Chain A
């Protein structure tokens, strides 16, 4: 598989990524160590979902595949689940255009 598997349970697609993908259903408290990383999950993360590897402030880029997949809408600590509740798209945002806000590039 492309990328690096962390501790048998999380897939890091590119070194610059700020999230990894769970390749198993993972429980709150699960420690993920290795490849120079060491963190513990602060909540359950289901198969296929993302785990924060680094701290994100609101507005920070979230990176996977070595590319930007969105920005944080809330502070995210390492070990937290990253999904639609704390990360949003910056693209196709006609709602922002309608509200007169600048859509981030």
Chain B
């Protein structure tokens, strides 16, 4: 029997697991006001402050706008306020329109037009209070697991990640896919050395070619710059945890996606399909940006594996922390949700995977994660880099 949970069904049919009012700044210049409005409003308001400037090259701006629109469109968001200084290339009104396509209430606020920071904070508070009144009309109702988009992420990896936590999360992905849902994992640099395994699992040649092309692009960036990945991948922390090469890290990292066929390969923050099976995404290895990319694509819940003890959360999607390292479980229990280190003592991957899946459903139904309890809400927009822009102009880059 397919598993169920209670969620917020939105006007477009998608189901949210939270009912936030998102406060989305279009640039760094509006980020302080967005944060100020959300902080004063209460825990139901979630700001997504970021570092992107008011003017960006085309490919960079398009990606930023796609991320911000995706955050507002995520079904965990019941209503949204878009905040601008008023000089940004990204137009607040068109961003609000992209969010409003989902049928939710959206407002905009211009700091310049309202009369500066103080007036904007006051006006912002009024607006989000009104939006919250509208969002509160939503009630949790029955939904199928097949309506979930589950994102798998890893950060602060060590040797236990590939042995315990990643295969356990992968098993939970397999269970969700079997129940008709969507799972996604990403961090393309961490496919290097394991791409032949992923390629064999691709559902068709088109997906296979795009995946291999993007892995080659990421590896090619190291070639282009005349440097090698060894200082950065695996990171010094990964190395201390026992990971020697990027191949070893990648072979462990891909386990978090499970074992089902790869049905597609999404661009960064490209909307993920409901009921789509396993669909990885092209993202950088930086975990905060990689999580944001998948949440902007519609993922409602994230599982984040960590051996060494990452504390990363997200403002819009609950982040379930899974560790395979017994010391991290002991020392950082207030940041960890699932103990996968039991694998080392003999618990089967299937058994831990079932616990991860049950946690996913409980969190989808409203149970708070440790990151939510601690108010950990990291947010960053991935900036398309100059070397990627050059690649894009040659028709082979990651930007679009």
Contacts and interface: CB of A to CB of B under 8 A. Distances in A.
Interface of A: 1-3, 11, 13, 21-23, 46-50, 62, 64-65, 67-70, 82-84, 87-98
B246 interface: yes
B368 to A, nearest CB: 30
Given A93-B228, A95-B228, A96-B228, A48 B346 contact: no
Majority SS of interface residues in chain A? mixed
Given A2-B167, A65-B162, A94 B226 contact: yes
B192 A70 contact: no
Given A92-B229, A96-B228, A48 B241 contact: yes
Contact of A70 (B159, B224, B245): B245
Contacts of B245: 69-70, 87-89, 91
Contact of B160 (A3, A48, A91): A48
Contact of B194 (A67, A70, A95, A96): A67
B222 A93 contact: yes
B120 to A, nearest CB: 46
Given A65-B162, A92-B229, A94-B227, A21 B244 contact: no
A50 B163 CA distance: 13
B123 to A, nearest CB: 50
Nearest to A87: B244
B348 A1 contact: yes
B359 to A, nearest CB: 20
Main secondary structure of the interface of B (DSSP, over half): helix
Contacts of B239: 83-84
Nearest to A13: B163
Contact of A93 (B229, B344, B347): B229
B166 to A, nearest CB: 11
Point out which of A22, A65, A84 has the most chain B C-beta atoms below 10 A from its C-beta: A65
